[in-house]
Amino acid sequence: MIALHRRKVAALALSGLAAPALASATQAQSVPPRASSPPAVEAAIKRFSQLKVTNAGCAVAAAAPNGGWFQGYNENAVLFVGSAIKTFILAQYLRGVENDLAGAERKQLTIDDTVRSLGSSVFGDQSTDDPLVLAGRTRTRNVLEAMIAHSDNTATDAVMAAAGVANVRALIAEAKLATVQIPTSTRRLFIYLASGEDRDMSWSEVKALMAHPTKPQSPLNSVQSMKSSANDMLAWYFAAFNGRFFRKPETLLEFKRIQAMADALSKVVPRDTAAYGKGGSIEWNGFNCLSVPGQMMVRGVPVTFCFTINWAGGPETFGPTAAAFQDAVAVVLSESAKSV
């Protein structure tokens, strides 16, 4: 099976980002600090590095006024990060409509089988366990929120089509994120993973292919993938939340508002901590991924981070590995919060 969507694992309840209020301050620094982290953070990251997975990478930076710090483990390793790349799609769409943000979000996007994709809990993918399928037009604001809050892949492909994949890739290049790779669409990703063919198909063809994959591919490939290093994800969030990629303050505020809805951080950031991000996961042909990048605000200090693991194993490995990942990440972020 293939699954690239919002996880519903009890131990890693990826629901409702804990963000009671939007943090209004942006940081003066243009790049993350690089001084050594406190010993307790280093110890927590060492624990993360000992997770029993094929590959792991993380990076954490605190921009405290009295001296910031950085700590990483395997932070330059290029790993599969899944839906974590949706932050770039959101950012580029908002950049493209900055001159009339409110008007653009009121405009309608079409949801139908031309953009339908797997892993769509809001708009439907006709899966056997949840045969929901919605078609029609809805406000762009609803589609943006579905992409981030529910990681809906049909919403993602509708927004990607509106933003333009070439424009999203140009933003990634502008940000100098050399390790980041995004697919043409989530549907094109799934088609390639199941067939090795880099082309689009009709929705009926996609469903038939997913029922009987012809030539399964690794998610870690150079054709259609969702990849990044922890270092690049950290650099992205640090710069993006500084407002570097937006001309207007209200665009940054909207970017943060929507990312405060993300479903990946509520079980890893300290309780009642404002946080923004977008997680990712996959289960495909024995390949698994969990990724949690973003930023939390601790007493006005931004702590930016990315944690990613990739591993080989069957479906029975996902729950226990997710629980261990959640625990290890939560300890790192707890110690990071105590240090600022």
Tens-place pLDDT, residues 186-217: 999 999 999 999 999 999 999 999 999 999 99
Instruction: Measure the CA–CA gap between 282 and 28, rounded to whole angstroms.
Output: 36
**pLDDT tens digits, one per residue of 220-230:** 999 999 999 99
Mean pLDDT to the nearest integer, 164-176: 99
Residue-level pLDDT at 278: 98
Is pLDDT at 16 greater than 50 in this prediction?
Answer: no
Domains of the chain plus CATH, in order, are: 2-338 (3.40.710.10)
- Is residue 8 scored above 50 in pLDDT? no
C-alpha 280/C-alpha 14 separation (Å) is: 10
Average pLDDT estimate for 258-273: 91
Lowest-confidence region among 7-16, 162-171, 262-271: 7-16
pTM of the model: 0.90
Q: What is the pLDDT of residue 128?
A: 65
- pLDDT value at position 65? 79
Q: How confident is the model at residue 17 (pLDDT cuts 50, 70, 90)?
A: very low
User: Is the pLDDT score of 173 beyond 50?
Assistant: yes
What pLDDT band is residue 31 in, cutting at 50, 70 and 90? low
pLDDT, tens digit, 9 for 90 and up, residues 311-337 = 999 999 999 999 999 999 999 999 999
133 has a pLDDT exceeding 50? yes
Q: At 26, is the pLDDT very low, low, confident or very high (cuts 50, 70, 90)?
A: very low
Average pLDDT of 33-41? Answer: 82
Please give the pLDDT value at position 9. 31
Mean pLDDT computed over 115-144: 90
Q: Three-state SS string across the chain, please?
A: CEECCCCCECCECCCCCCCCCCCCCCCCCCCCCCCECCHHHHHHHHHHHCCCCCEEEEEEEECCCCCCEEEEECCCCCEECHHHHHHHHHHHHHHHCHHHHHHHHHCEEEECCCCCCCCCCCCCCCECCECCCCCEEEEHHHHHHHHHHCCCHHHHHHHHHHHCHHHHHHHHHHCCCCCCECCCCHHHHHHHHHHCCCCCCCHHHHHHHHHCCCCCCCCCCCCCCCEECHHHHHHHHHHHCCCCCCCCHHHHHHHHHHHCCCCCCCCCCCCCCEEEECCEEEEECCEEEEEEEEEEEECCEEEEEEEEEEEECCHHHHHHHHHHHHHHHHHHHHHHHHCC
**Other beta carbons less than 10 A from residue 295's beta carbon:** 26
User: Residues 95-113: what's their mean pLDDT?
Assistant: 94
pLDDT at 7 over 80: no
Burial of 316 (0-12, 13-18, 19+ CB in 10 A): exposed
Q: Is 20 exposed, middle or buried (0-12, 13-18, 19+ CB in 10 A)?
A: exposed
Name the average pLDDT for the chain: 90
Task: Find the mean pLDDT for residues 277-283.
Answer: 97
Count of C-beta atoms within a 10 Å radius of residue 24: 10
Reported as a single tens digit per residue, the pLDDT across 144-164 is 999 999 999 999 999 999 999
Is the pLDDT at 15 greater than 50? The verdict is: no
How much is the average pLDDT of 81-104? 96
What dihedral do alpha carbons 175, 176, 178, 183 form, nearest 10°?
Answer: 30
Cβ count near 98 (within 10 Å):
14
**Residue 64 in this model has a pLDDT that exceeds 70:** yes
**What confidence score (pLDDT) does residue 28 get?**
42
Residue scoring higher pLDDT (75 or 6): 75
